[in-house]
Every structure is written in C-alpha cells, then in structure tokens.
Amino acid sequence: MATFYSFKNKKNESEPLIKEPGSIDGQMFDIADCEGSTMVLMDQCEQVQIDEVHKCRVFIGACTSSIFIRNCSNCVFYTCCRQLRLRDCTDCKFFIYSMAEVHIEYSNRLAFGPFNGGYPDHAKHMAAANLDVSHNLWYDIFDHNDPGKTHEHWRVMEVSEYEEPWFPAGECERAIPVTAPGSVARVFEDSGMQSYGVDQMAADAAALSAPAPPTGPASEPAPSVENVPPPPAPSADMPVNRLCVGIIGTSAVALALAGRLSSAGYSVHLGTAEPDLEKVLTSLGDLPDNTSVSTVEEACVFGNFIILAVSGMRSAELYHNFAVSLGAGVKGKIVLDATNPLSEYPKLEVIWDGNTSGGEMMQAALPDCHVFKAFNTTGSNHIANPTGSDIPGYDSSIRGPLKMLFAGPKEQQVNAAEIISAVGFTPLYVGPIRYSRNLEAMAELWVHLALPPVGETTENWGKTFHFEPSGV
C-alpha cells in the first residue's frame, strides 16, 4: 500500500505533485510506476528509490544518502544526493548534485549537467543532509558497462543545452553553484578509511569499490589467524573518566553513533586518516554536541572505548596494517568492530580469508585489545533511532529498544554492553568472537534484502527491517 512517503501510480497529473519542506523530514521516499507527471520533493530525505517512471520531471532537494533510479525513460531529473545510481535508464537528462561519482549500469543515451535551481530552504536541507554544496561531482560518471571508457552510453551536456533554472517555489537564491566539468576534485572519503555502514554499502562502497585501509609500517609480519590469541586480562587501571569514545570513520554510521553517544553524555573523537582536518570538518558540516575530529591515533588515545566504523577488510595482512595505523593508544582497550569483510559492489558478499571471520582477524591483529563484533547487522537509520519507531508494528513501550547482537570475550561483555546500551540498544551477548562469523553473515543478508539490486535475491524488504530476537 502506498504511504505518505511515496508517489506511486501517478499518470498524467495536471498539476505538479509537491512535498513541501517538513513533510518528509529525513525519511526514505519511493517513486514508482508514474508517467507524464511532475514530482517535487522540497525537503531533506533519506534514501530515494525511483522505478518505472516515464515522461516525467522529478526534483529531489536533498538526499542524505543515495538515489537509485531504475527502468526509467524520457525523463528529466533534478537531484541532490550523496551518490546517484542509475540502472536500465534510457533517453533521460540529469541536472544533478552528487558528492560521489555517479554509477550507471545497462543504460543508454543519458545526458548530464550541473544542478541548476532550488527553493528557499534548500541550503538548510543540504546542510542537514551533510552535503557540501561546493563539492559537486555531477560530471564524474562511472559506467559499469563501458570498460574502455568510450562514453558511448552517456555524455556531458553543452552549456547551450542547459534548461532554465528550476525553482519549484518561485525564483530564489541558489544554494548550489553551477560548476564546469572537472572543476572540483573528488570528495575526500577518508582516504580508504571510509566509514562503514550496511546502509552505505550500496552507496559509498559502490562509489569507492571498498578500498583497502591505509597501510602503516609493515615491520612485523601479519599475525596468523589459525589460532586466534585470547584477549588480554581485564585492565586494572581503566581511567576514571570512562565517558570518552574514539570512533574511527566519519560517515553515516559513525555520525549516528556519535550523535547517540553524545546524547548519553559521552565525548567523541571521530578519527580520520585525512591529514587536512579542516577539510574533513567542512565536508561533514555540523557535528553532534561534544564531538570533534582528530587523527586516527589521537582518537585511539582519547577514547576509553574504540568503535571501528570503516570499510571491511579481506585479508590478515590488511587487518595487520590497519591495526598498526591505530597506534599504541588502542592497547588494552575495548574495541567494538562494526566492519564486515564484503566483496566489491554489486555483489557485496562476505569474503573470509582462510575461512576466518573479520572479527577473529581483527582480534588477531589487535592481541592487546578486547575486540567485540557489534553494530554491524543493521543500518544507520536504526542506530540513529534504536527505539524501532520506524518499524511498522513495533511498540518499544512493550518490547523495549531494539536488540543488538554482539560477540567477544565474555569477561569484558559488561563493558561492551555499556556502549551498546548508551547508543540506545538492548545488548544481547551471543558468545566469543568466533560468532562474528554468524553476525557478518547476517550483515550480508541484511544488505541484500534492504538494498537491492545487490546480491542475488530479488526480495526487497527495505531498510526498516531489523534482526530482532524474541523469547530472550
């Protein structure tokens, strides 16, 4: 059944269909099975999916994550998002803002130009979506079906082809400048330390093809994972001020965790491998209270708890190099690992080196830490709102907050549970780090069901579902 957050089965509407500012308020939006109509979203929204739209004009003001457009023809799109992904589209024009490169598949006769237009609240919505208006990569197109880079399926429009600016609410000051091709370098994505979130695997992981983490000095061989060493004994000198967390990574999951922990009274450092911290701050926009950006090593020194919210790794050597990059400050601390060792887009399948899970390899690479697998089986939407209020039929007043499964050393589970509870989840311990194999497999399933067209399933459950155990 169609919801308020959708335009579906709209045919030859005589007047534009408009969502006014405040009417979407950061929720996901679907457009499907429409023809001969004009549709306008003048609000901030989460992921947008557009399917089977023909001979339409579509305006999307500010999408926090990705816009997926599939099976569309003879349309004009004005879109602003972190990343735009197109599949099976023909004879369409795109006037766009995209913070990451645009991905196209099985598409033909597409034309691209810069976003040109706006509405009075546009700048505010772009800032709320953490979209930097000065970094528009509208011309940076990756065609998965053109290995020779011939541009046979798409082109950049000449300036003479640009339409008049689209101002759905009347002419106003533009929030996004019109830029020329090649005028902006690719947006920094943590130089391989890109923040991880299962809801971003089809966006950032797709855009960057899951780059390897930065390598540190490889003076020591990568540790063997055949026999994962036991974690160290509990530290007797845990600092009195426990309310400090270092989060490695800077994207949606990292920011959602920072926001929740800040609300719970914690101070947070977001650790980045990018040396230009001002550049990172500009890219991120407003941060949650009590949250700052620092180097990776500084974040590990600062935090009494460390959360790893970066792209997954696929070999013991990469885990070793990543561990070296954290520095000596991580030693002896609780480390919550939210990564998943996934293959490149579009498959995003779990890949284990030597049939050993990523969590086990992380513990092997950090033998002086207490490593837990946590926060890896759901999307940033649930991390930002662990009450489950966006899940149809879920009543937290009866069932309590959503549950978060986690695995790691039993003697330290209370400490890991403290952070999980502070984020707002009900922690549910499943056993030692070996069970990260199961949690990583669950993450793959969540991604494939929530974010089509990744994986081999044709099911589309949407991002609102959550693995929620009952009877425990």
pLDDT at 429: 95
Average predicted confidence (pLDDT) for the chain? 85
Average pLDDT over residues 222-235: 40
**Amino acid sitting at position 253:** V
Indicate the helix (H) or strand (E) that contains 278. helix 277-284
Q: Output the pLDDT for position 242.
A: 52
pLDDT digits (tens, 9 = 90+) for 162-215: 999 999 999 999 999 999 998 875 433 333 333 333 444 444 344 333 333 333
**Top mean-pLDDT range of 9-13, 102-106, 455-459:** 9-13
Query: Residues 43-79: pLDDT tens digits?
Result: 999 888 899 999 999 999 999 877 889 999 999 999 9
Give strand pairing partners of 352.
none
Tokens of 264: 């719970």
Kindly state the average pLDDT of the residues 261-270.
89
Classify 64 as helix, strand or coil: strand
Res 221: pLDDT:
41
Structure tokens at 356: 């050993």
In the chain, pLDDT over 70 holds for what percent of residues?
87
Cis peptide leading into residue 239 (ω within 30°): no
Q: What is the pLDDT of residue 412?
A: 92
Question: In a 10 Å sphere around its CB, with 0-12 CB exposed, 13-18 middle and 19+ buried, how is residue 264 labelled?
Answer: middle
pLDDT, average across residues 218-237? 40
Rounded to whole angstroms, the Cα distance separating 361 from 359 reads: 5
Amino acid 185: pLDDT: 58
Q: Is the pLDDT of residue 255 over 90?
A: yes
How far apart CA 44 and CA 61 sit, in angstroms, is 7
For 297-339, give the DSSP string. HHHHHH-SEEEE-B----SHHHHHHHHHHH-GGGTT-EEEE--
pLDDT at 410 over 80: yes
Instruction: Round to whole Å and give the CA distance between 377 and 418.
Output: 18
Per-residue confidence band for 275, with pLDDT thresholds at 50, 70 and 90: confident
Specify the range with the lowest mean pLDDT, choosing from 336-345, 405-414, 435-444: 336-345
Q: Does the pLDDT value for residue 316 go beyond 70?
A: yes
Burial (Cβ within 10 Å: 0-12, 13-18, ≥19) of residue 382:
buried
First to last CA, the chain: 33
